[in-house]
Amino acid sequence: MTDFPRRDFLKKTGMLTGGLLLNGGLMDAFAAPAATGKIKIAVIGCGDRGTGLLKVLQELPDKFEVVALCDDLPFRLRDAQKIGSANKAKTYADYHALLDSKAVEAVIIAVPLNMHFPIAKAALQAGKQVYLEKTMTFDIPQALELVQLAQARPNQTLQVGHQYRYSPLYYRVKEMIKQGYLGKVTQIDCRWDRNGSWRRPVPEPGLERKINWRMYREYSGGLAAELLSHQMDFINWAFETHADEVFGTGGIDYYKDGRETYDNVQVMVRYAQEGMVGNFGATCGNARDGYLFKLKGTKGTISLLVDEGVYYPEKETLKQYGTVDGVTGATKITWNKEGGLAITTGSEPLKDGSWYALNDFYRAVREKKMPDSNVLTGARTACTVHMANQAIYNHTIEKWHPEYSFT
C-alpha cells in the first residue's frame, strides 16, 4: 500500500478541510443535473418503505411528479394519498393495470421481497424506469434472469435501493480504502441489532401474513435480506469483490410467536480474492450495539454508523502522520478521546440516504447512465444474501459459482 505524507493524509481525507474526495458522478448530479424535466413516477407498495420514499419524493418536486400509487390494501392507499402532492395521484389495486398506463414513466417497487422479481420484470417489459427496493431478488435464479432482462434494455434504468451507501460519507470511505489509508484490510465486523419483535399491528387476522410478511419464509429473506444486505452490498461495492464462501447459523431464539424467519442470525463470509473475513450479525433481542460497521486494516480502522464515521490509525500509522497539521505546520489535529479522527463530508449536514439515492435515480434516467447501485451490484448482493440464508437454514457452506459473476 502507498505511504502518504501528513500533508496528503489531512488534505485527502478531508478530516480537517471538509473537502469531498469525489470526482464527478454522484456529487455532480446533486449540484447541477445535466438534464431537466420531471419524471412521472408511481409507487408500487405503500407500506412503511413505500410511504417513506413517497415522503422523500415530496422533497424533490423539481425532479419527480407522483402520478400513481398502487397497493392491494385500501387503507394503505388512503394513507399514502395524504402525503403531500400524492393526493392527486391515481390509485390502483393491481400493479398490472398501473404498468399499462402511459402516464407512468418510472416506478418505485417497495413490496414484499417475494414480489420484487415479478413486478420488476413486468415493469421492464412495460418500458418503465425502475427503482427496486433491496434486496433485489428473493433468490439467485431470479437475480440471474433480472440481469439478462435489464441488460437487454440499455435505455431503461434499474436501480436497487441500497440507500445507506449512497451517503457522501460512504463514498468518502470507499475512496479512503482505495487510497490505502487502511492498509491491507483483513477483518470486517458488522451488526444491525434491535430489541423488538419487528411485528406490525394487524387490523384483522386474515391480513397477518400480508402485513407481517417479514416473519414468513415464503415472502421474506429475514434479517439477512432486510438489514445485513446493506452492509454486504457496501463491501462488494467498496472492494469490488464478492463472497467466495458463506457460513451461517441462527434460530428463533426469543420470539416464539409463530414466525418462521429467524430472530437471531450470524453470518461469516470469506472474500478469498481480497484475503478478508466478514462477520455479519443481527438480533431482535438486544439493541445496545444497534448499527455497527468496522473495517480493520494493517494501517487503521474505520468505524461507521449510518451517518458518522471515525478513522483510527494504528500506532505505526500515527507515528507516520504525527500530531501536527502538515498544511500549516502548526495546527494540532483534534483527536477524540479514543484516538480517532472524524471523517467529514463538508459543511452541509448529511441527508437521509434515500434522498441521495433518488437524486442518482433521476440522473441515471435522464442521462441514460447506469446508477451506482445497479442491476449488477444488486445481483451480487442478492446472491450473497441467498447464500447466507441457505447457509443459515440448511447448515451448509455455500460457495460462489462463476455464473454469479456479472459483467
Q: What percent of the chain has pLDDT over 70?
A: 87
Work out the pLDDT band at 264, boundaries 50, 70, 90: very high
Q: What per-residue confidence (pLDDT) applies to 212?
A: 98
Is residue 262 located within the same domain as residue 330?
Answer: yes
Is residue 130 located within the same domain as residue 174?
Answer: no
Q: For 84-107, what is the mean pLDDT?
A: 97
Is residue 249 located within the same domain as residue 137?
Answer: no
- Three-state DSSP class for 122? helix
Give the chain's domain count.
2
**How far, in Å, CA of 322 to CA of 332, rounded?**
10
354 is a domain residue: no
List phi, psi (to 5°) of 333. -70, 135
List phi, psi (to 5°) of 38. -70, 145
Which three cell numbers, joined as nine digits, stand for 361?
Answer: 435515480
Is residue 136 located within the same domain as residue 191?
Answer: no
81 is a domain residue: yes
Is residue 294 located within the same domain as residue 395?
Answer: yes
Closest CA to 131 of 57, 234, 61: 57
Q: What per-residue confidence (pLDDT) applies to 144?
A: 97
360 is a domain residue: no
Work out the pLDDT band at 14, boundaries 50, 70, 90: low
Closest CA to 116 of 50, 185, 40, 215: 50
CATH number of the CATH domain containing 95: 3.40.50.720
Q: Has residue 384 got a pLDDT over 70?
A: yes
| Among 121, 141, 162, residue at a domain's last position | 162
Q: Has residue 307 got a pLDDT over 70?
A: yes
Q: Which residues, other chains included, contact 39 with Cβ-Cβ below 8 Å and sequence gap of 6+?
A: 63, 64, 65, 105, 106, 129, 362, 365, 366
Whole-number mean pLDDT of the chain? 90
351 is a domain residue: no
Q: What per-residue confidence (pLDDT) applies to 17?
A: 36
**How far, in Å, CA of 327 to CA of 340, rounded?**
19
Is residue 169 located within the same domain as residue 158?
Answer: no
182 is a domain residue: yes
| Among 124, 147, 162, residue at a domain's last position | 162
Is residue 216 located within the same domain as residue 323?
Answer: yes
329: left (phi over 0), alpha (psi -120 to 50) or beta: left
CATH number of the CATH domain containing 203: 3.30.360.10
175 is a domain residue: yes
Q: What per-residue confidence (pLDDT) applies to 3?
A: 46
- DSSP assignment of 197-243, as one string? --PPP-SSGGGHHHHSGGG-TTT--HHIIIIIHHHHHHHHHHHT---
Q: Has residue 322 got a pLDDT over 90?
A: no
Tell me the residue type at 8. D
355 is a domain residue: no
Is residue 311 located within the same domain as residue 236?
Answer: yes
Which three cell numbers, joined as nine digits, stand for 340?
Answer: 480517532
pLDDT in tens, 32-47: 444 569 999 999 999 9
280-295 burial code (b ≥16 CB/10 A, e <16): bbbbbeeeeeebbbbb
Work out the pLDDT band at 407, boundaries 50, 70, 90: low
Is residue 309 located within the same domain as residue 183?
Answer: yes
Is residue 245 located within the same domain as residue 340?
Answer: yes
212 is a domain residue: yes
Length of the chain in terms of residues written: 407
Q: What per-residue confidence (pLDDT) applies to 188?
A: 98
Query: Locate cell 435464479: which residue?
Result: 141
Q: How many CB atoms lie within 10 A of CB 346?
A: 14
Q: For 116-138, what is the mean pLDDT?
A: 98
Is residue 200 located within the same domain as residue 294?
Answer: yes
Q: Has residue 29 got a pLDDT over 50?
A: no
Q: Which has the higher per-residue pLDDT, 26 or 247?
A: 247
Range of the domain at 400: 6-20+165-346+376-404
Q: Which has the higher per-residue pLDDT, 16 or 317?
A: 317
Q: Has residue 131 got a pLDDT over 80?
A: yes
**How far, in Å, CA of 365 to CA of 103, rounded?**
16
Work out the pLDDT band at 21, boundaries 50, 70, 90: very low
Is residue 248 located within the same domain as residue 396?
Answer: yes
Query: Would you say 55 and 80 are in contact if contact means Cβ atoms under 8 Å apart?
Result: no
| Among 162, 194, 215, residue at a domain's last position | 162
pTM score: 0.90
